[in-house]
Amino acid sequence: MTNNLKAFLNMIAFSEGTSTIKASDNGYNVIVGGTLFTSYQDHPRKRVFIKRINDYSSAAGRYQLLARYYDAYKKQLGLKDFSPASQDAIAIQQIKECRAIDDINDGKFADAVAKCRRIWASLPGAGYGQHENKQADLQAKYVEFGGVLA
């Protein structure tokens, strides 16, 4: 994994608000809304009502993956659990599916964010009606996490 990809994953976790929860395992054990789960054996599959979107979400983990997507990626990638390594593998696969890996590795941060915003609602321009972070703030975090810009 390149330094730029590590920095981008850290930026996503920051943007999603998981890695900033002090009692968490760097965001890997966070359920949407900020509560924590205790076992990495499986996705926690807890549905939480989110008032601001007036709907339920099963998002969990460092990258806030929905349970239904976990099941598909678990099978596709041959994963055994919802461990930090599995969560990272899924996030990397999602980035690949967005065709953003080369942009990340080449330091084309804005292009990568634009390609990945359909996956992570907290990225600028996502359009899901949830809080979106500012591009400049996320870019600063990416650089802080060791990412290099083109």
d(CA 102, CA 110): 12
* Token pair listed for 26: 């760097």
Look up 16 and say whether it is catalytic: yes
Report pLDDT digits (tens) over 7-49: 999 999 999 999 889 899 999 999 998 899 999 999 999 998 8
- Global confidence as pTM: 0.92
Report pLDDT digits (tens) over 52-97: 777 888 999 999 999 999 999 999 999 999 999 999 999 999 999 9
Q: What is the pLDDT confidence band of residue 132, given thresholds at 50, 70 and 90?
A: confident
C-alpha distances out from residue 126 to 2, 19, 106, 119, Å: 25, 20, 22, 8
* Token pair listed for 91: 């996030």
Task: Look at residue 150 and tell me if it is in a domain.
Answer: no
Task: Look at residue 136 and tell me if it is in a domain.
Answer: yes
Q: Pick the catalytic residue from 16, 97, 132, 144.
A: 16
Is the CB of residue 135 less than 8 Å from the CB of residue 127?
no
* Token pair listed for 16: 């999603």
Q: At what angle do helices 3-16 and 84-97 cross, to 10 degrees?
A: 100
At residue 108, the pLDDT reads 97
CATH classification at residue 7? 1.10.530.10
Task: Look at residue 135 and tell me if it is in a domain.
Answer: yes
How many domains are there within the chain? 1
Task: Look at residue 26 and tell me if it is in a domain.
Answer: yes
